């Protein structure tokens, strides 16, 4: 089954700007993408990365450059042929079992909600569906499917539901993430510390590592 992984190679992870430089954000985004691809490797999914521009780093999947908005990219993937899986590139907690659940769930459209109202992954089995990733996209995708009388399946998954956008999300990566993302953060000096009984993420200065 085809899988499409949209990837922002131009200005990745801007909301991590308070803790990572632009070059670091680009490197970390590649690390997360590699974890997504590694999780797909033992599955029946055949991934293609749809990147806004050619990344400097290599990855283990074909790359197609397309700098159009996300909606247009995914609409083309649906129109090209279904079924097709669309999986975001910033899901470093993902595992093969997560993707197996996506494939095994019944429905014309299978949705994996993200925190904050996003849609982190979907499996589309009909070209009658269209997408709207603006705002609370999970609500919009449910609405679109309902208006077209399509059966919707949903996956309640911590690993599929955890995308990385904010500095506070890094603790989930360090605790539960894939090998590429965890190794990158550790090499960059990020550590988990417990303050007042709660775990937090700190960055150790290079001279102290």
In a domain, 161, yes or no: yes
Whether 202 is in a domain gets the answer no
Q: The domain spanning residue 62 has which CATH number?
A: 3.90.550.10
Closest CA to 86 of 60, 50, 55, 57: 50
Residue 182 domain flag: no
Q: What pLDDT, on a 0 to 100 scale, did the predictor assign at position 207?
A: 59
- Asked if the structure places residue 174 within a domain, the reply is no
Burial class (CB in 10 A: 0-12, 13-18, 19+), 202: exposed
Enter the tokens of residue 151.
């059966």
Spans of the chain, pLDDT less than 70:
206-209
Tell me the DSSP string of 124-139: E--TT-----SSSHHH
Number of domains in the chain: 1
157 C-beta neighbours (distance < 10 Å), count: 21
Which pLDDT score is estimated for 14?
Answer: 95
User: What is the extent of the structural domain holding 115?
Assistant: 2-169
User: Is 63 part of a structural domain of the chain?
Assistant: yes
Residue 124 counted as domain residue: yes
The Cα 167–Cα 19 span in angstroms is: 7
Neighbours of 165 (CB within 10 A): 15
Contact 93, 177 (CB under 8 A): yes
């Amino acid at each position: 089954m085809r899988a499409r992984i949209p990837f922002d190679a131009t200005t990745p992870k801007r909301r991590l700007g308070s803790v990572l430089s632009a070059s670091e954000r680009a490197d970390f985004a590649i690390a997360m993408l590699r974890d997504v691809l590694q999780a797909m490797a033992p599955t029946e999914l055949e991934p293609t990365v749809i990147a806004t521009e050619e990344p400097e780093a290599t990855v283990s999947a074909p790359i197609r450059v397309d700098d159009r908005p996300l909606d247009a990219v995914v609409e083309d993937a649906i129109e090209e042929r279904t079924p097709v899986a669309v999986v975001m590139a910033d899901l470093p907690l993902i595992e093969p079992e997560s993707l197996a659940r996506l494939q095994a769930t019944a429905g014309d459209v299978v949705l994996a909600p993200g925190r904050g109202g996003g849609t982190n992954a979907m499996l589309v089995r009909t070209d009658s569906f269209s997408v709207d990733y603006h705002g609370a996209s999970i609500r919009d995708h449910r609405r679109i499917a309902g208006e077209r009388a399509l059966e919707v399946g949903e996956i309640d998954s911590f690993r599929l539901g955890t995308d990385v956008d904010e500095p506070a999300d890094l603790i989930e990566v360090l605790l539960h993430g894939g090998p590429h993302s965890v190794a990158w953060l550790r090499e960059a000096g990020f550590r988990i510390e417990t303050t007042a009984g709660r775990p937090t993420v700190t960055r150790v200065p290079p001279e102290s590592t």
